[in-house]
Amino acid sequence: MYLPTKDELEGNALQHAWTAPEEWTGFLENEAEALDVPIINTFREFRSLSKTAMLHLFIQRGERPYPSAEGHLNNEGNEFVAKVLHEKLSEIL
């Protein structure tokens, strides 16, 4: 399962030219298919949301007393991923 980072979704990730999110996820999907390994990519589902809705799925700076929590999925984000996962697994099975 591929879960994009907040920075990838916002286009802020420090990346090599060959690892732009769309190129990287395309590569992962092609390799998984060649190896007959199922992959669930949530990048498109996250990107289909408005920027405001997408940002509300992640823990924001200062929201928690733990600085390393920033950028992780919050409860709403985990629920979003669970729904996408359920939908994708239902298609596969």
**Distance separating alpha carbons of residues 87 and 93, to the nearest angstrom:** 10
The mean-pLDDT minimum among 3-12, 30-39, 59-68 falls in: 3-12
Contacting residues for 59 by C-beta, under 8 A, at least 6 apart? 69, 70, 71, 72, 73, 74
Residue 1 lies in a domain: no
pLDDT at 17: 44
* Tokens of residue 66, six digits: 């733990």
pLDDT at 14: 52
pLDDT at 44: 87
Q: 50 is in which domain, residue-wise?
A: 6-92
pLDDT at 8: 84
Residue 43 lies in a domain: yes
pLDDT at 18: 41
**What's the domain count of the chain?**
1
The mean-pLDDT minimum among 13-22, 43-52, 55-64 falls in: 13-22
Average pLDDT of the chain is: 87
